[in-house]
Structure 1
Amino acid sequence: MSSLTNQIAVVTGAGSGIGKAIAKELSTLGAHVYVTDINEENALHVASEIKGEGYMATAYKLDVSNSTDVSDFFQKVNQLHERVDILVNNAGIAGTPSLISNMTDEEWKKMLAIHVNGSFFCLREASKMMRKNRYGRVINMSSLASETSLAGFAHYGAAKYAIVGLTEAAAKELAAYNVTVNAIKPGVIRSALTQGILSMAEERLSLATPNQKIGEPRDIAQVVAMLAKPESSFVTGASIVVDGGFCLMNEMDRVVLEMLEN
């Protein structure tokens, strides 16, 4: 029997990239995965793939930035299953790079609406069921941009820092109910969000990573699966960096390593 057999998992932004990899990984472990995405066609395609492989999945079009949509969705899940065991808040956008002095209200608000509001709305609804059932696993998708932010992406960095704060507060509130809440901080992962920068600088970014490669969506999915398991009950409020060591390195490290290896 798989470790997540018959558990109900909700993955947002699961129509492609990291979210798709997470949905597929959780399904192989036995969970019935709700593949949610604002792009209904993508969600249906991923759910169809999962079911074609013999696992359980349901597609659902969901705009996480709309609190009414989120509430309606979780009510339907509650009516069908009376629980949500796993929530993965993965939905997000990269946004358009912009200097702060040039950033528009719309660019700023849209980024926070999807990443921060969306994570909060989903967590709020899922936590009601998790508290009642005294069990749950929540994994919020932050970013390496919440370590040092990122020039040209102040809106993205601010949103990802906020998700860490949300994670830590929720972990404290829900711990007594056997609900864990953790964040993952992916580094440079091959996905639609990084396609633009990788097209310009993949080799440079690979060389800047100690293991000399770009991460893949499955690298994040494996960590999500670990945190989603019942056995991970003593890990909560944590922010796990998954970046191949990227944020550990600085120019002094490179100079010393080159000196020692040559």
Structure 2
Amino acid sequence: MAKLTNQIAFITGGGRGIGRSIAELLGKEGAHVIVTDIDLAGAQSVANEIEQKGGKAASLALDVSQSSQVAAVMNQVVEKFGRIDILVNNAGIAGNPKWVDEISDQEWTRMFDIHVNGSFYCLREAAKVMKKNRYGRIVNLSSCAAVTGLAGLSHYAAAKYAIVGLTETAAMELGVYNITVNAIKPGVIRTALTDGFLELAGSVLTDATPVRRLGDPIDVARLVTALVSPEFGFVTGCSYIVDGGFHLVTEMDKTMLKMLS
């Protein structure tokens, strides 16, 4: 039997990229996947693919930055299934690279509305249901930008750091209800959002990564699938870096590695 059979999994930003891969793998592992996305057509495409492969899925339109919409969609799911066992907060945007003194109020606020407020709204509503059922698995998507920051994207990095704080605090508060809360910090992952950037810098980043390749969405999805499994009840409040070891390598390391090769 698949390890997530009969679990109700709620995925935000599930219509493409990392979210799509997460939704598909959870479906393969037996979960009934609720694929949500601001782009309903994208969510429907993923749900259809899961069902075509023998899984169970549904799709719903969701703008995570709207708290009333989050509550309404969550309630719709709970009314139908009676519970939410798994929440994956994946919805997000990359933003445009700018110097910190050139970022507008609107750009800053939009980044936080989607990443931070969106993750909070979804976590809050899911936690209400999970506490009643005394079970839940929550995974928030942060970023390696929350390890050392990221030049040109201070608003993105700040939002991703905030998600770590939310993760750790929620883990402390919800643990007594058998609810775990963890975060994942992906590095450079090949998706539609990073294609343009990787055309310019892909080879440089690959050479600087110890495993000598860039990440694929499935690399993140596999870790999510492990963290939301019932047997991972003693793992909470953690942030996992998924970057092939890229964050470890400094300019000094690069020099030493060249000397050794």
Per the normalisation by structure 1, the TM-score is: 0.98
Deviation, structure 1 residue 260:
2.0
CA distance in 2, matches of 1:90, 1:196: 21
Deviation, structure 1 residue 211:
0.9
What is aligned with 1:36?
36
What is aligned with 2:162?
162
CA distance in 2, matches of 1:14, 1:86: 14
What is aligned with 2:94?
94
Aligned pair 1:253/2:253, yes or no?
yes
CA distance in 1, matches of 2:235, 2:194: 29
Aligned pair 1:139/2:139, yes or no?
yes
C-alpha distance after superposition, 1:12-60 (max 9, x if no partner): 0000000000000000111000000000110111111111111001010
SS at structure 2 position matched to 1:35 = strand
CA distance in 1, matches of 2:217, 2:174: 28
CA distance in 2, matches of 1:196, 1:257: 29
**What is the root-mean-square deviation in Å for CA atoms of aligned residues?**
0.7
SS at structure 1 position matched to 2:231 = helix
Aligned pair 1:193/2:193, yes or no?
yes
SS at structure 1 position matched to 2:3 = coil
What is aligned with 2:236?
236
SS at structure 2 position matched to 1:218 = helix
Report the residue type matching 2:49 in the other structure: E
C-alpha distance after superposition, 1:104-158 (max 9, x if no partner): 1111000000000000000000000110000000000000000011011000000
Report the residue type matching 1:129 in the other structure: V
Aligned pair 1:105/2:97, yes or no?
no
What is aligned with 2:123?
123
Deviation, structure 1 residue 252:
1.2
SS at structure 1 position matched to 2:155 = helix
Report the residue type matching 1:221 in the other structure: A
What is aligned with 1:222?
222
SS at structure 1 position matched to 2:49 = helix
Report the residue type matching 1:101 in the other structure: D
Report the residue type matching 2:78 in the other structure: N
Deviation, structure 1 residue 2:
1.1
CA distance in 1, matches of 2:159, 2:196: 20
CA distance in 2, matches of 1:203, 1:23: 29
SS at structure 2 position matched to 1:254 = helix
What is aligned with 1:58?
58
SS at structure 2 position matched to 1:230 = coil
Deviation, structure 1 residue 255:
1.5
SS at structure 2 position matched to 1:80 = helix
Q: How many residues get paired?
A: 261
Q: Which runs of 4+ in 1 moved over 6 A?
A: none
SS at structure 2 position matched to 1:232 = coil
What is aligned with 1:180?
180
Query: Identity percentage over the alignment?
Result: 57
Structure 1: runs of 5+ lacking an equivalent: none
Report the residue type matching 1:4 in the other structure: L
Report the residue type matching 1:204 in the other structure: V
CA distance in 2, matches of 1:122, 1:239: 19
Report the residue type matching 1:115 in the other structure: H
CA distance in 1, matches of 2:246, 2:257: 15
